[in-house]
Amino acid sequence: MSDSAPVLSARDLRRDYPMGESPVHALRGVSLEVAAGDYVAIVGPSGCGKSTLLNLLGAIDRPTGGTVAIRGEPVERLSDRERTRFRLLHIGFVFQRFYLMPALTAGENVELPLAEAGMSRAERKARARELLTYVGLGARVTHRPTQLSGGEQQRVAIARALANRPALLLCDEPTGELDAHTGAEMIALFERLNADGTTLVVVTHDEDLAAAAKRVVHMRDGGVVSDTRVR
Amino acid sequence: MLPAGASAAAGAAAPRTIAIDERLAADAHLRVGDRLVVRAGVDGPGDTVIVGAIVRRSADPSEVARDEYRVLMHLDELQTLTGYGDRVDRFAVATRDSAATDRAAGLINDDAFGFQAHRSRDIAVETSQTFLVVSRFHRAIGVITVVASAVFLLCIMLLKVDERRRDVAALRLMGISSATVLKSIVLEATLVAGVGSLLGVALGAVISAVVNVHYRGVYRTPLAFSIVTPGVVAFAVALSLVLGMAAGFLAARRLTRVNPLVLFGR
């Protein structure tokens, strides 16, 4: 499922980090547009600016220059508090290390962003169960992270990222901590998510994960060197 | 005071009774009904008496270190035995109520030349001044220990929260507000402090009981050497909660003020 409305629009993004007299130019004018329902993999060598770009696309960091708009909303103009709220409601994050709260069950971890968004307890519980069932962990709702495997923890993290029905799911090396078999399961889950309408942007070194995307963006030295639609 | 032989009281008038304290009863293996000969000195004349009662020693701190026995006798018999005649150094008068005590003390002090009447409560306060000072000294040591331990725990809590900087960063990147993160850390710290203080109070109560059992055995006294009072419990719990909340707040504020990307180490 894909339509032409851009969920994400980045124009001439630049990000410099001050390092004494000669700043580091981590991004040198990157432009990117992601349509709803698209599945984009951003690949490239370490230090090429992939994670910096993801931070800017996810309204985590502010660009030195350029603009980022998500669903038409220019996020660089938002205050810190507004950006936090914006991330909660419109962007889902999946990290390499799952960052689940160890004291909470899988269900409670998924409920966290729902609670922050103000959803009622009963609705939260139902939504968390629905999402965990979707990622194949319907029977693990009451398990704590320590009782789950790495792959299962990443599934919980994905369910958590989807909690508030975000416009965009940003993933930073989501298979980096997983073995090959579990990584393959995760890739299949991403494909299913995308097929069900989730817009995905994935930063990865994993060739298999990149190969599963509809579009692959290659980066080098802070710039995009190729942007290829593969399916 | 010697155990009397079966013939010692034969043919005499019925022996009087005395009361002895439980320490003497234990050391001399005496029981109620036993006959004894009591003398004022080693060579003095003796009277045969019957142990009529074994009484508990009072919980008087001034008696703790005294290795002596207490024997209660009828006054006339004690006078005869000691040869003091109609003389006493001090005696106690029981009264109906507090008002009667005041009236009796007033009458004695006004009319009985050479006598000074005091309320037993005043005497108790006067004689326990030393112990009050010792008690305050112990309390000061206790407070210093608790505060120093609490500050140490506060530092540990700060470090523990700092260890979770990546979790906090992930929460904030997900869109959880700084206020929510701060509230949850303070709440957690308060719960930890509350549970910790209750466990500490329970541990303190157990140690206090052990101390009392030990020293009551050593000194053979019903005196309470260690008391966990409601005031002490309230102080410990309140201090723990305040420090726990302060530690949680400081640690959380430090984390929430830092850019999540910095917390992530990016």
Whether residue A84 and residue B176 make contact (CB cut-off 8 A), yes or no, is: yes
- pLDDT reported for residue A1: 43
- pLDDT reported for residue A53: 95
| DSSP code, position A77 | G
- pLDDT reported for residue B6: 40
Chain A residues in contact with B261 (beta carbon < 8 A): 55, 60-61
Whether residue B180 and residue A116 make contact (CB cut-off 8 A), yes or no, is: yes
A46 Rama sector, left if φ>0, alpha if ψ -120 to 50, beta otherwise:
beta
Q: Is B56 exposed, middle or buried (0-12, 13-18, 19+ CB in 10 A)?
A: exposed
Contact A144, A100 (CB under 8 A): no
Domain B4-82: which topology? Barwin-like endoglucanases (2.40.40)
The pLDDT tens digits of the residues spanning A135-160 come to 999 999 999 999 999 999 999 999 99
Task: Tell me the residue range of the domain where A133 lies.
Answer: 37-48+79-216+223-229
| Residue A202 covered by a domain | yes
- The answer, for A93 touching chain B at a CB cutoff of 8 Å, is yes
How far off is chain A from B174, nearest CA to CA, in Å?
6
- The answer, for B184 touching chain A at a CB cutoff of 8 Å, is no
Give the CATH number of the domain where residue A198 resides.
3.40.50.300
Whether residue B175 and residue A88 make contact (CB cut-off 8 A), yes or no, is: yes
| Residue A9 covered by a domain | no
Q: Where are the domains of chain B?
A: 4-82, 129-263
**Cα separation of B109 and B111, whole Å?**
6
Choose among A89, A99, A164: nearest Cβ to B166.
Answer: A99
Rounded alpha-carbon distances, angstroms, from residue A163 to A203, B1, B123, B175, B203 = 21, 90, 74, 12, 44
**Please, what are the averages of pLDDT over each run of 10 residues along chain B (266 residues)?**
48 81 92 91 83 87 78 87 76 87 90 86 81 85 83 81 84 91 90 90 94 90 87 88 88 86 76
- pLDDT reported for residue B72: 92
Choose among B170, B177, B266: nearest Cβ to A116.
Answer: B177
Q: How many distinct structural domains can be found in chain A?
A: 1
Chain B residues in contact with A58 (beta carbon < 8 A): 173
- pLDDT reported for residue B2: 56
Chain B residues in contact with A101 (beta carbon < 8 A): 167, 171
- The answer, for A104 touching chain B at a CB cutoff of 8 Å, is no
How far off is chain B from A136, nearest CA to CA, in Å?
22
- The answer, for A84 touching chain B at a CB cutoff of 8 Å, is yes
Whether residue A85 and residue B266 make contact (CB cut-off 8 A), yes or no, is: no
Chain B residues in contact with A161 (beta carbon < 8 A): 174
| Residue A3 covered by a domain | no
Residue at token pair 């507004």: A82
Chain B residues in contact with A97 (beta carbon < 8 A): 166
* Residue type for position B149: S
Choose among A51, A55, A88: nearest Cβ to B174.
Answer: A88
| Residue A88 covered by a domain | yes
Closest Cα in chain B to A99:
B167
**Cα separation of B121 and B10, whole Å?**
45
Whether residue B166 and residue A97 make contact (CB cut-off 8 A), yes or no, is: yes
Percent helix, strand and coil across chain B, each rounded to 5?
60, 10, 30
Whether residue A51 and residue B266 make contact (CB cut-off 8 A), yes or no, is: yes
| Residue A57 covered by a domain | no
- The answer, for A218 touching chain B at a CB cutoff of 8 Å, is no
Range 155-194 of A in CB contact (< 8 A) with B: 160-161, 164
How far off is chain A from B264, nearest CA to CA, in Å?
11
Indicate if the pLDDT at residue A31 is higher than 60: yes
**Cα separation of B9 and B188, whole Å?**
77
Indicate if the pLDDT at residue A12 is higher than 70: yes
